[in-house]
């Protein structure tokens, strides 16, 4: 899942230029590869001042979550090719050890594969002072077994620092002509929207919203047992102009489509700049996602990495991440509504009634995942 808009601005991230390393090779270094736009530059600067001693902070923004996942794979493959036990060996002449980050941003959707392939290592929770203030829902999301499935008896593999949801974004002017506005998934089937919708090109999201319309869970495993599912999917497909996971907002802005389903961290920054667009979270609940910190397998545990995670979980810092990146925080904050743009308040100030009906896309058994993909491909064809 990409979750990165073609219109992503630079207001939150000039990190490549801002996060300067200090001189001196003996200086402690914290190296972080993060999703571009997911951490405000101000927060990193505050962290530097917060530390008791001067350190070298190397924060490198990356455009796509998939690129960060592929980097983890590359580091692991390189370590295995040179030495199966890690980096404690003499490299052959001419070979070069890759610069592995201490922490990497990953989407929760990638956690299962990363754990299963041993690309990341568990976190030492006892080193995270703020772990106890993290609500249970977020602790459960990152507590998993060695196969990457949620498991209350498992280990903690990641630290969530922001989250968002799948939302509906639409053209105010077009719906003013229609005399109604969308409020829930069922509105996508209305005849006025024939060939006017763009959906994410993702089977879990599309089949999931249909399941939600039918009163089922996004994480339903036996979809063959729902007789009306395929009929509903085919009817929805008639409404869709195109499927895309990266460039679905451009046609909406120019009026080629009237409604799109997208990820909130793509949508909210765009809505704040284009007043002709409005956004709504479906009343029956929606899919949730989280961006998390993970530690690559080849990295030794380091106190500085845990200090950074704890710093992100401090309420005042969590508020800044929320405001500047226009995403929600897993940490409970006392943020004032006046600090958030008016059109975004309904999304960044949690609506608990909808939130309790919403779900993370949990990892599914392989056979079930294949069934989702094949069903989606059949409907689109």
Residue 334's pLDDT band, with cuts at 50, 70 and 90, is: confident
Contact predicate 8/33, CB 8 Å: no
Considering 52-66, 77-91, 219-233, the range whose residues carry the highest mean pLDDT is 219-233
Q: What are the extents of the domains in the chain?
A: 15-163+289-349, 166-287+360-380
For 226-244, how does the pLDDT look when each residue is reduced to its tens digit (9 = 90+)?
Answer: 999 999 999 999 999 999 9
CA–CA dist 170, 242 (Å, integer): 15
How much is the pTM?
0.86
pLDDT of 12: 40
The tokens describing 260, both together, are: 């799109």
- Three-state SS sequence of the chain: CCCCCCCCCCCCCCHHHHCCCCCCCCCCEEEEEEECCCCCHHHHHHHHHHCCCCCEEEEEEECCHHHHHHHHHHHHHHHHHHCCCCCCCCCCCCCCCCCCCCEEEEEHHHHHHHHHCCCEECCCHHHCCCHHHCCHHHHHHHEECCCCCECCCCEECCEEEEEEEEEEEEEHHHHHHHCCCCCCHHHHHCHHHCCCEEECCCHHHHHHHHHHHCCCCCCCCCHHHCCCHHHHHHHHHCCEEEECCCCCCHHHHHCCCCEEEEEHHHHHHHHCCCCCEEEECCCCCCEEEEEEEEEECCCCCCHHHHHHHHHHCCHHHHHHHHHHHCCECCCCCCCCHHHCCHHHHHHHCCCHHHHCCCEECCCCCHHHHHHHHHHHHHHHC
Q: Is 15-163+289-349 a CATH 3.40.190.10 domain?
A: yes
Residue 175, pLDDT > 60, answer yes
Residue 298 in contact with residue 102, Cβ under 8 Å?
no
Q: Which residues contact 25 (CB under 8 A, 6 or more apart)?
A: none
What's the pLDDT at 85? 52
| 56: β partners | 29
Q: For residues 158 and 104, is the Cβ–Cβ distance under 8 A? A: no
Cβ–Cβ < 8 Å for 184, 211: no
Q: Are 173 and 181 in contact (CB under 8 A)?
A: no
Cα 119 to Cα 152: distance, rounded to the nearest angstrom:
21
% of the chain with per-residue pLDDT over 90: 70
Q: Which two tokens stand for residue 173?
A: 């002017």
Asked whether residue 42 carries a pLDDT value surpassing 50, the answer given is: yes
Take residue 60 and report the two structure tokens written for it.
């490198």
Cα distance between residue 340 and residue 324, in whole Å: 9
CB-based contact 288:350 (threshold 8 Å): no
Flag whether pLDDT at 120 surpasses 50.
Answer: yes
Domain 166-287+360-380, CATH: 3.40.190.10
Instruction: Report d(CA 138, CA 147) in Å as an integer.
Output: 19
pLDDT above 50 for 332: yes
- Residue 89's pLDDT is 39
What value does the mean pLDDT of the chain take? 87
The more confident residue out of 173 and 348 is 173
Q: Give the residue from 31, 120, 111 showing the smallest Cα distance to 308.
A: 31
Residue 13 is predicted with a pLDDT of: 42
Q: Do domains 15-163+289-349 and 166-287+360-380 have the same CATH topology?
A: yes
Q: pLDDT tens digit string along 268-325?
A: 889 888 999 999 999 999 999 999 999 999 887 678 999 999 999 999 999 999 989 9
pLDDT tens by residue, 139-162: 999 999 999 999 999 999 999 999
């Amino acid at each position: 899942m990409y979750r990165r808009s073609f219109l992503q601005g630079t207001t939150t991230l000039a990190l490549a230029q801002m996060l300067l390393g200090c001189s001196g090779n003996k200086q402690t270094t914290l190296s972080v590869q993060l999703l571009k736009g997911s951490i405000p530059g101000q927060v990193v600067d505050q962290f530097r001042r917060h530390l008791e001693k001067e350190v070298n902070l190397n924060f490198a923004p990356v455009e796509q979550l998939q690129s960060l996942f592929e980097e983890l794979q590359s580091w692991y493959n390189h370590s295995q090719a040179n030495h199966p036990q890690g980096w404690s060996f003499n490299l052959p002449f001419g070979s070069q050890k890759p610069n592995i980050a201490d922490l990497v941003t990953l989407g929760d959707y990638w956690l299962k594969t990363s754990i299963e392939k041993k690309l990341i290592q568990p976190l030492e929770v006892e080193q995270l002072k703020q772990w106890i203030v993290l609500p249970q829902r977020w602790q459960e999301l990152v507590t998993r077994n060695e196969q990457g499935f949620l498991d209350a008896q498992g280990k903690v593999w990641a630290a969530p620092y922001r989250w968002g949801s799948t939302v509906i974004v639409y053209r105010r002017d077009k719906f003013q002509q229609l005399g109604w506005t969308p409020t829930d998934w069922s509105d996508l089937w209305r005849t006025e929207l024939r060939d006017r919708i763009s959906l994410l090109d993702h089977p879990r999201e599309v089949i999931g919203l249909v399941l939600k319309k039918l009163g089922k869970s996004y994480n339903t495993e036996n979809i063959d047992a729902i007789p009306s599912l395929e009929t509903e999917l085919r009817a929805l497909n008639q409404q869709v102009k195109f499927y895309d996971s990266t460039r679905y907002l451009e046609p909406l802005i120019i009026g080629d489509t009237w409604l799109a389903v997208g990820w909130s961290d793509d949508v909210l920054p765009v809505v704040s700049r284009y007043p002709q667009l409005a956004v709504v979270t479906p009343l029956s609940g929606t899919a949730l996602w989280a961006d998390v910190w993970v530690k690559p397998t080849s990295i030794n545990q380091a106190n500085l990495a845990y200090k950074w995670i704890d710093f992100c979980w401090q309420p005042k810092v969590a508020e800044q991440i929320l405001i500047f990146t226009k995403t929600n925080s897993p940490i409970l904050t006392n943020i004032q509504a006046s600090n958030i743009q008016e059109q975004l308040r309904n999304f960044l100030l949690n609506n608990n009634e909808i939130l309790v009906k919403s779900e993370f896309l949990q990892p599914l058994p392989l056979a079930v995942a294949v069934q989702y993909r094949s069903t989606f491909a059949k409907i689109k064809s």
